Amino acid sequence: MKLTRRGFSGALAASIAAPALIGRAGAQGATLKIGMCAPVTGPAAEQGRYAQTGAKIALDAVNKAGGVLGKQVELIIEDDQTTNPGIVLAFSKLAAQDDIVAFLGSIRSTQVHAMAPDVLKLGKPVMIGGTDPALTHMGNQWLFRFRPNDSYSGRVLADYGVNTLGKKKWAIVHSTDAFGTAGGKALTEALGKIGATVALDQGYANQSQDFTPVVLAVKQSGADILGSYFTFENDLGIFARQLRQLGVNIPYVGSPSIVNVSALKLAGPALYGTFGVADYAEDSSEASKAYGKLYREAAKVAPDNQSAWTYDAITILCASINKAGKTDPKAIREAILATKNFAGAEGTYNFDANGDGLHGYNIVKNDKGNIVFDKHIDFND
């Protein structure tokens, strides 16, 4: 047989392409892929590790139970560098892989906002943990939230302070960034609806070195309860300590940062006896307890919301694909939205038409440094 130039070129091209084609075909057949953008590097790298662990625990359970649509599920992780450009790049790398059927985005609202236009263009389901209410109310039907949004935290704080603690004259302290301003506003509105008054609405700039003027304003306002939205734990730590030093001892209910591990460490006894809202509380339900046990075994540290939401996201996503019976994005979307009364680690999921799965928060108490579950407050709207 005579080897022609054309024949040789054809054979060469085929031999180069074959392994890739065979590999791709094999991969497509063998596993079902889910993409995940997570901070592997950058300031939130530690939390990113928690998020990955939560997702992997869920994935193991799904695969042990037979996988999805008869295939084992594979998680493809891209580093979002804890930045907005980072997550846009990470998502575009994942989106370029046609065989990825759905994605996990970020717990940070700002990053979700950054990637949202690309999510809309791609048209595949993306699970998120960011709590800015706008994320599921801006016409992007592909975002599904696995944490309660911030509109609920204000209502829960107000409800608990007024109806459980019986306090009606409030001082509100909040950061002046998007999170703090929106939180302070939500709390003020919720208080107005249940007949409580706001004696002081005090904003502060992040990374303040001193809160003496704020504490003195709280003291002078004559408020009988304090509500807060702090963005950074070090600000909260300085504020809480100065609050006690200057003799302010009224009941204090705060946004989730008041009960996170860093704040507890920094503020120490200054935060004892305070209440906070938390989307994940280990003792809030049987499902939360069961997840806590699994996570402690896998990660050797206490579970928190950073990992609980990714655990729930993978669990519900996989169940929804199974229920849909196919990987068509629209079918998956409908199956996720049809999820009702699903007991997850973060709470009971009842998806609404906007893509919000959870509609309430847990109230927890700082009992001498231990976070103790107090009650769960849910809303139907």
**67 near another protein (CB under 8 A):** no
- Total residues interacting with another protein, rule: CB under 8 A: 31
Q: Report if residue 301 touches another protein, rule: CB under 8 A.
A: no
Contact between 204 and another protein by CB under 8 A: the answer reads yes
Is 214 a residue that touches another protein (CB under 8 A)? yes
Burial of residue 206 (CB within 10 Å: 0-12, 13-18, 19+) is middle
Question: Is residue 245 involved in binding another protein (CB under 8 A)?
Answer: yes
Within 10 Å of residue 290's Cβ, how many Cβ atoms?
Answer: 12
Q: How many C-beta neighbours within 10 Å does residue 214 have?
A: 20
Distance CA 93, CA 95 (A): 6
95 lies in the site for another protein, by CB under 8 A: no
* Interacting span for another protein (CB under 8 A) from 259-267, 290-298, 309-317, 360-368: 259-267
- Taking residues 161 to 200 in sequence order and writing x for each that binds another protein by CB under 8 A, - otherwise, the string is ---------------x------------------------
Rule CB under 8 A: is residue 205 a binding residue for another protein?
A: yes
The answer to whether 271 and 264 are in contact (CB under 8 A) is: yes
Residue 234 as a binder of another protein (CB under 8 A): the answer is yes
Return the sign of the alpha-carbon dihedral for residues 305, 309, 310, 311.
Answer: positive
Cα separation, 371 vs 291, whole angstroms = 17
Query: Which sign does the torsion angle of CA 89, 90, 93, 97 carry?
Result: negative
Q: Which residues, 6 or more positions from 32, have their beta carbon under 8 angstroms from its beta carbon? A: 67, 68, 69, 71, 72, 73, 74, 101, 321, 327
Site map (CB under 8 A) of another protein, residues 110-149, x = contact: ----------------------------------------
Least CB distance to another protein at residue 241 (A): 8
Q: Kindly report the number of other CB atoms within 10 A of residue 156's CB atom.
A: 23
DSSP 73: E
Look at strands 126-128 and 143-145 and give their pairing.
Answer: parallel
- Pick the closer one to another protein by CB: 265 or 326: 265
- Select from 9, 92, 163, 262 the one that contacts another protein (CB under 8 A): 262
Q: Report if residue 237 touches another protein, rule: CB under 8 A.
A: yes
Rounded to a whole number of angstroms, the minimum distance from the CB of residue 176 to another protein is: 5
Contacts to another protein by CB under 8 A: 43-46, 176, 202-205, 207-210, 212-214, 216-217, 220, 233-234, 237-238, 241, 245-247, 262, 265-266, 268
